[in-house]
Amino acid sequence: MRNVDRLLLMLAFAGASAGLAQGYPNRPIKVIVPWPPGQTTDIAARIVCEKLAPVLGQPLVVDNRPGAGGSIGTEFASKAAPDGYTLLAGSVGPISISPNVQKVRYDPVRDFSPIIQFTSSPYMLVTHPSLPAANVKEFISLLRANPGKYSYASSGSGGVSHLVSELFLAMAKITATHVPYKGSAQGLTDVVGGQVTYAFDTPAAVLGHVNAGRLKALGVSSANRAIAMPEVPSIAEAGDLPGFDMRGWIGLLAPAGIPRELRVRLATESRKILQAPEIRERFITLGLEPAVLTLDEFAEFLRRQNDRYASIVKQANVKAD
């Protein structure tokens, strides 16, 4: 192909892409939420969709498709046409964890094109108030001096809280007995009751218990302190565990193959919404921390997340329930 022909072809493609972006959307957009109504991902997605609809000039219709830890709805979204009219409210479970602990019929990296991250959420290390450890270093020393004596609750084998705990044990070079539950509520109840030693859970789940004195918060799993409880140090900082940084996340993805121009449009408008003070405050009230990554930053973040969880699962030989 002559250089002039190649240039004309590139200009024609650029013009078609620009026209595609300008004409998008011209009908309602479906947003798949692979969780039931009222779950955190559902709430976060609805907050953004409510503000995004008038900007785009078309409704964003939330379609809840729960089941199998978010895998059912995620698989459905992965097989949709990559035309910008079906999006996925993705989260750490079905995108970063499930593909590493069980067989799913989608590839989280190959089958999706990331658009924007909405939020991140650290996990908080909480114990019964009577446990003789006032901080993370004392807690690590206590467990190290008593191998296997203490236990931790999780929301289920292969869940985020389980993997956060496994990374903590590995990095701190300590051991504890895993007690899995079907959901986090009963596990926290047993930590409050003293039947289980500790747990990692979200600030939203533990804040009421900590404020009432039923639980003691020692540290958070993110690199920095949590907005909801700024007085609690990070585990990396308080436990001298550099690199310990584990967070949940929620974001918007599309089936792979969607034109980049449409992703840029969605990311740009979503970013404006997420930077609004009232939206930030709504997320913080829910125990979520606003976290806006650029389109390419989000893609790189997801690749790192997948690699990290794969490493933890392999090292700890984690199997899903």
Give a yes or no: residue 92 inside a domain: yes
Among 238, 261, 282, give the residue marking a domain's end: 238
Q: What one-character DSSP code corresponds to residue 2?
A: -
Give a yes or no: residue 188 inside a domain: yes
Check whether residue 176 and residue 268 sit in a common domain. Answer: no
User: What pLDDT does residue 21 have?
Assistant: 63
Check whether residue 93 and residue 141 sit in a common domain. Answer: no
**What string of H, E and C letters represents the secondary structure of 44-95?**
HHHHHHHHHHHHHCCCEEEEECCCHHHHHHHHHHHCCCCCCCEEEEEEHHHH
Check whether residue 105 and residue 253 sit in a common domain. Answer: yes
Among 217, 238, 259, give the residue marking a domain's end: 238
Check whether residue 166 and residue 111 sit in a common domain. Answer: no
User: What pLDDT does residue 13 have?
Assistant: 43
Q: Provide CB contacts within 8 A for 186, sequence distance 6+.
A: none
Supply the CATH number for residue 108's domain.
3.40.190.150
Check whether residue 21 and residue 64 sit in a common domain. Answer: yes
Give a yes or no: residue 115 inside a domain: yes
Range of the domain at 310: 3-121+247-316
Give the pair of three-digit tokens for residue 290.
């606003």
User: What pLDDT does residue 321 have?
Assistant: 64
Residue with tokens 């989608």: 106
User: What pLDDT does residue 216 have?
Assistant: 97
Domain count within the chain: 2
Mean pLDDT, the chain cut into blocks of 10 residues (321 residues total): 44 48 90 94 95 97 94 97 97 92 93 94 94 97 95 91 94 95 90 96 90 96 88 95 92 97 96 94 87 87 91 85 64
User: What pLDDT does residue 187 have?
Assistant: 93
Give a yes or no: residue 321 inside a domain: no
Check whether residue 35 and residue 53 sit in a common domain. Answer: yes
Rounded to two decimals, the pTM is 0.84
User: What pLDDT does residue 292 have?
Assistant: 77
Check whether residue 194 and residue 167 sit in a common domain. Answer: yes
Check whether residue 226 and residue 252 sit in a common domain. Answer: no
User: What pLDDT does residue 267 have?
Assistant: 95
Q: What is the mean pLDDT of the chain?
A: 90
